[in-house]
């Protein structure tokens, strides 16, 4: 497996964060919250902030979305370190990781369909839990469809920087999860775990909706001998119905012509309370204030807050 980029120039003690949007549509307010939190925390520690485009799910991607994301981040004043990384260029690394997991006896072929799992699996925090049908080999008449990670007896405990201790019995709570999908594309857990580990990411600050994605990713990193980052899960923005802001819930895209106002709203959502007079100030002044006053401790224990996308500012929890 390839080595961490700039390994000689960036010792492991150096803070390295990242923002990794998927190009399934334009950035929205929830995206801005995640980007702002991870960015300010990295700069607070005088660290690096990398940008990665998680483009491993072509059926869900929108043409031109990656370029729109980069343009929006630039217009909102974000400055990332190094080149932009694209997961579609990392196929060889993911194939090598899967082969290593197979060699360890930690990955196996699965012939089950979603309908099979819906019928036999029990409900878990991330959907239906796979019942282990193919753990000991494919049943007669079944062909390989996906590849799963074996979680037998596996437990992952970690201390989240914002949510506190997280304890997960992977076999009981999540089950054997997919690392390569039936359509041939690599699963999010595998790609994120490999890239965060190989690229030397030391801290992952992201939305609370991804909290239960963390134990599987740590499990993969441990099996591959990769160092896991520290994780912190920010509160997520939800609509009045309690749904996470997303393309599927019709969250409006960011408006770069209102970058200062929307960044001010994101800082308010993140508990930073910027002065009212900065809401109409030049963007550089708002960023200067944010860098000088950022305190992630104000977010400890918070998981979500309602945002009315039709109003000028989000409701505060």
Over residues 11-37, the pLDDT tens digits come to 445 999 999 999 999 999 999 999 999
Q: Domain for residue 317, yes or no?
A: no
Query: What CATH number is given to the structural domain containing 175?
Result: 3.40.50.620
Same domain, yes or no: 98 and 173: yes
Q: Domain for residue 313, yes or no?
A: no
pLDDT of residue 121: 67
Of 269, 256, 287, which Cα lies nearest the Cα of 26?
A: 256
pLDDT of residue 300: 86
Same domain, yes or no: 115 and 183: yes
Q: Domain for residue 67, yes or no?
A: yes
pLDDT of residue 250: 57
Residues sharing a CB contact under 8 Å with residue 136, sequence separation 6 or more, in sequence order:
none
Angle at the Cα of 173 from the Cα atoms of 163 and 206, rounded to 5 degrees: 35
Q: How far apart are CA 112 and CA 118, in angstroms?
A: 10
Residues sharing a CB contact under 8 Å with residue 55, sequence separation 6 or more, in sequence order:
22, 23, 61, 66, 86, 87, 88
Q: How far apart are CA 303 and CA 166, in angstroms?
A: 14
Same domain, yes or no: 171 and 257: no
Domain count across the chain: 2
Q: Domain for residue 315, yes or no?
A: no
The b/e string for 148-184 (b: 16+ C-beta within 10 A; e otherwise) is bbbbeebebebebbbbeebebebbebbbbbbbbbeee
The b/e string for 33-70 (b: 16+ C-beta within 10 A; e otherwise) is bbbbbbbbbbbbeebbbbbbbbbbbeeebeeebbebbb
Same domain, yes or no: 76 and 205: yes
Burial (CB count within 10 angstroms: exposed 0-12, middle 13-18, buried 19+), residue 312 = exposed
Same domain, yes or no: 137 and 229: no
pLDDT less than 70: residues of the chain: 1-13, 121, 240-250, 303-317
Q: Domain for residue 1, yes or no?
A: no
Q: Domain for residue 280, yes or no?
A: yes
Same domain, yes or no: 74 and 101: no
Q: Domain for residue 81, yes or no?
A: yes
Q: Domain for residue 20, yes or no?
A: yes
Same domain, yes or no: 150 and 287: no
Query: What's the domain range around 249?
Result: 16-88+192-306
Same domain, yes or no: 74 and 220: yes
Q: How far apart are CA 180 and CA 95, in angstroms?
A: 9
Same domain, yes or no: 99 and 184: yes
Partner residues linked to 41 by β-bridges: none
- Whether the pTM exceeds 0.85: the reply is yes
Same domain, yes or no: 263 and 216: yes
């Amino acid at each position: 497996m390839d080595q961490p980029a700039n390994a000689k120039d960036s010792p492991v003690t150096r803070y390295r964060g990242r923002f990794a949007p998927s190009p399934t549509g334009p950035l929205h307010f929830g995206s801005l919250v995640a980007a702002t939190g991870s960015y300010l925390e990295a700069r607070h520690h005088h660290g690096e902030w990398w940008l990665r485009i998680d483009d491993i799910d072509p059926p869900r991607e929108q043409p031109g979305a990656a370029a729109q994301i980069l343009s929006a981040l630039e217009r909102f004043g974000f400055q990332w370190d190094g080149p932009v990384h694209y997961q579609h260029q990392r196929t060889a690394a993911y194939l090598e990781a899967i082969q290593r997991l197979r060699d360890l006896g930690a990955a196996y072929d699965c012939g089950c369909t979603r309908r099979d799992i819906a019928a036999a699996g029990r409900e878990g925090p991330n959907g239906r839990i796979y019942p282990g049908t193919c753990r000991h080999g494919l049943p007669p008449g079944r062909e390989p469809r996906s590849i799963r990670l074996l979680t037998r007896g596996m437990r992952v405990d970690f201390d989240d920087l914002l949510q506190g201790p997280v304890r997960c019995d992977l076999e009981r709570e999540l089950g054997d999860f997919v690392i390569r999908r039936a359509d041939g594309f690599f699963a999010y857990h595998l790609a994120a775990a490999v890239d965060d580990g190989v690229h030397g990411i030391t801290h992952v600050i992201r939305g609370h909706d991804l909290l239960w994605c963390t134990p599987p990713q740590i499990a993969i990193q441990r099996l591959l001998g990769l160092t896991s980052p520290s994780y912190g899960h920010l509160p997520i923005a939800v609509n009045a119905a309690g749904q996470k802001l997303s393309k599927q819930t019709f969250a409006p895209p960011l408006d770069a012509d209102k970058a200062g106002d929307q960044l001010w709203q994101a800082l308010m959502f993140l508990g930073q309370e910027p002065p009212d007079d900065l809401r109409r100030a030049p963007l550089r002044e708002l960023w200067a204030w944010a860098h000088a006053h950022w305190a992630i401790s104000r977010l400890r224990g918070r998981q979500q807050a309602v945002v009315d996308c039709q109003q000028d500012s989000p409701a505060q929890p």
